[in-house]
Structure 1
Amino acid sequence: MEQSYAFNITKLFPIVILLFLSTFKLNAQCEPVCKDNTKIYLCYESTVEVLPEDVLKPIQPECLKDMVVDIFQNGDSLGNQVSYLLAGQTLDVRLTDTLSHFTCQSTITIERDSTPPTAVCDEFTVTTLPLDGYAVLCADNFDSGSYDNCFLQSIKIRRMDDNSSFKNCIRVSCSDVGAPIMVILQATDYEGLTDICMIELSVQEKIAPVINCPDDIDISCKFDPFDVNVTGIATATDNCHVKEITHTDSDLRNDCGVGVIERTWMATDDAGNTSTCVQKIRTIWER
């Protein structure tokens, strides 16, 4: 037995109307409205894709997926990309909603990056001189993460007491031991934009002098054992500079003036490092 079904289209009519109104409302909310002009900042020798949100006034995020950007230079389409070579030019741009076919038109101006880098320093740095008395310090000894929103071209340094140009490295020596040296670090990007930071550099010298005592000596008690012109004088060398050579005596002689004097020689450099040696002076009784 055949069965028949009646299909009442009037029951679907409200649903169709609702879907139509919802789609119309969404399309209306997604109608693109362009900004008057948009500045696009480009890094050195870069190419970027211009996105719908770059040229649109605020719009619901779900609308962006159907938006297409077209850029024109003298009527010729460039697609949706611009390069650093276009810096300084103002280009026409058209944005189209591919779903609703709404469009808006505006312009974009291509600008070179204008944000300077950020120089970051180790504010306090200590270095110790080696045996030869001088050290070479380069920018990476002081840099603590300098950065740029695009790319850094160079990080260089110079001493504040040196008015010459910035260099990759500086030299410090014995004459710098003591008072801190101020060093300037300069970060430069590919647009020539710069930033600086300051470092307080302390140069230390920790190598003790090398001292040489006079030979041990036997002298007659007729001579003055405390006269270094008779008993000899110590000498010393240092990687920087020997400030002074001094001595102290330990007199171990008997009441007759016979016995040993132990003379301790001390060499001191400009940084206060010391070294010592001991000389023995024996006095002998002679009739």
Structure 2
Amino acid sequence: MLLFHDVVTAGACEGAYIITRTWTLTDDCGNTATEQTQTITVSDNTAPTFTAPADIEIFTDASCNYDATVTQTGDVTDEADNCSASIDATFTDVVTAGDCEGAYIITRTWTLTDDCGNTATEQTQTITVSDNTAPTFTAPADIEIFTDASCNYDATVTQTGDVTDEADNCSASIDATFTDVVTAGDCEGAYIITRTWTLTDDCGNTATEQTQTITVSDNTAPTFTAPADIEIFTDASCNYDATVTQTGDVTDEADNCSASIDATFTDVVTAGTCEGAYIITRTWTLTDDCGNTATEQTQTITVSDNTAPTFTAPADITINCEENPDNLTLTGDVTDEADNCSSGLEATYTDTTNPGACENEVTITRTWSLTDNCGNTTTAIQTINVQDNTAPDISALQ
């Protein structure tokens, strides 16, 4: 009869055994052959199984560091094997730089080997490390700048301010940029520049736009030359013409920005020293379209009366030597004094006497004069002949 019995001992790993099988053979008469031993080796050649975590994207923090631990990126949770228990998948990482600072590709290769050395097919998990943190900056403060003598302005950052505090968690040496929208202000030479600042890091993350308002103003006063002081004169009606046609106008108005500006004036009229005389203090001003005003300039216009009064001297007359030549009722008086400005004028006279051909006979040259209140004088001559036309009385000799 052929028989065997087995002795089973554990192998080097779970699922591995050594079976020592001892064979015996005895015939019917009880004779037994020498035992023979068969060794049966039981091995585990089945690879374990697992599922690698899904590909994932993670992000850098404020310091441009990242956490690629399995807590963040996922772990293998379904390790399985036909024999081995409590086996855990492991991994190795290969990190390559991405296309910008703070970006990386982690190629994570997962492996699982059971206790008997059977290894599952490697599985790869791709972990994309990205920077999604926007940079920060502070736009320059709003500012007012001014046009120059040619109505140009300089809005470069040297004059208006630049961003100096660009910062990012990963990118270095980034610079804010800007675009300008220029709109006309409320006068020539005035503008509003709306400057929009932007900052983008190397990974394409863009900070919130910030706006700087640049006000361009014209603060340059215009220039001009006032007309020269002048003297004008009253007319026959004691009126005067002080329009710029007669007294002069400003012709050289100039400004850095405004075109077609005209100087204006206001007059203060004060009475002069006589009727028909005035002093006009003409104050010239010039303001550009932006409200800048030139220094006032003063023109003095002297209004004078240079028109002499008029009158008619009495007619020449002959009187007797017994008559009084100062009797104006006899010799005649001026009755038609007139002047363009002065009123209440009275002609006066002075006499020059020249002896005639005989005693008591003279020629009086009476010079009449009339002077207005401004000193304008008119003269006229009246001749008064004084004659002795009375015959002598001889009765006194008897």
Give the shorter-chain TM-score range: 0.5 to 0.7
Equivalent residue runs for 1:135-154 within 5 Å? 135-139=240-244, 141-144=247-250, 145-149=252-256, 150-151=258-259, 153-154=261-262
Match of 1:260 among 363, 379, 382: 363
1:211 is the counterpart of 2:311: yes
Normalising by structure 2, we get a TM-score of 0.43
Pick closer, same or farther for the CA change 1:35–1:139 going to 2, 3 Å.
farther
Equivalent residue runs for 1:1-287 within 5 Å? 39=144, 54-57=155-158, 71-72=180-181, 82-84=183-185, 89-92=192-195, 107=212, 109-118=214-223, 120-122=225-227, 124-139=229-244, 141-144=247-250, 145-149=252-256, 150-151=258-259, 153-160=261-268, 175=275, 177=277, 180-195=279-294, 196-234=296-334, 235-241=336-342, 243-254=345-356, 256-287=359-390
Say which SS state the counterpart of residue 385 (structure 2) adopts: strand
Name the structure where helix makes up a greater proportion of residues: 1
CA contact (8 A) 1:38 1:54 kept: no
Pick closer, same or farther for the CA change 1:190–1:285 going to 2, 3 Å.
same
CA contact (8 A) 1:92 1:108 kept: yes
Q: CA deviation at 1:271?
A: 2.1
Pick closer, same or farther for the CA change 1:93–1:214 going to 2, 3 Å.
farther
CA contact (8 A) 1:118 1:148 kept: yes
Q: 1:79-109: per-residue Cα shift (whole Å, max 9, x none)?
A: xx54235967450168xxxxxxxxxx98452
| AA matched with 1:274 | T
Pick closer, same or farther for the CA change 1:54–1:111 going to 2, 3 Å.
closer
| AA matched with 1:148 | D
2:12 corresponding residue in structure 1: none
Cα distance in structure 1, aligned partners of 2:229 and 2:219: 30
CA contact (8 A) 2:193 2:216 kept: no
Q: 1:146-178: per-residue Cα shift (whole Å, max 9, x none)?
A: 44332464422223358xxxxxxxxx9x74526
1:20 corresponding residue in structure 2: none
| AA matched with 2:299 | I
Question: Which structure's relative contact order is higher, taking Cα pairs within 8 Å and 6+ residues apart?
Answer: 1
Cα distance in structure 2, aligned partners of 1:266 and 1:176: 20
Cα distance in structure 2, aligned partners of 1:161 and 1:276: 33
CA contact (8 A) 1:139 1:156 kept: no
Pick closer, same or farther for the CA change 1:161–1:181 going to 2, 3 Å.
closer
Cα distance in structure 2, aligned partners of 1:246 and 1:157: 44
CA contact (8 A) 2:226 2:284 kept: yes
Say which SS state the counterpart of residue 229 (structure 1) adopts: helix
1:100 corresponding residue in structure 2: none
Normalising by structure 1, we get a TM-score of 0.57
Pick closer, same or farther for the CA change 1:251–1:210 going to 2, 3 Å.
same
Cα distance in structure 2, aligned partners of 1:56 and 1:219: 105
Cα distance in structure 2, aligned partners of 1:90 and 1:82: 6
CA contact (8 A) 2:185 2:191 kept: no
Say which SS state the counterpart of residue 240 (structure 2) adopts: strand
Q: CA deviation at 1:134?
A: 1.8
Pick closer, same or farther for the CA change 1:284–1:175 going to 2, 3 Å.
closer
Name the structure where strand makes up a greater proportion of residues: 1
Size of the alignment, in residue pairs? 211
Instruction: List runs of 5+ in structure 1 lacking aligned partners.
Output: 1-33, 43-47, 59-68, 73-80, 95-104, 163-171
Stretch moving more, 195-204 or 210-219: 195-204
Pick closer, same or farther for the CA change 1:139–1:187 going to 2, 3 Å.
farther
Pick closer, same or farther for the CA change 1:244–1:35 going to 2, 3 Å.
farther
Say which SS state the counterpart of residue 311 (structure 2) adopts: strand
| AA matched with 1:245 | A
Pick closer, same or farther for the CA change 1:85–1:282 going to 2, 3 Å.
closer
Cα distance in structure 2, aligned partners of 1:244 and 1:118: 52
Pick closer, same or farther for the CA change 1:193–1:160 going to 2, 3 Å.
farther
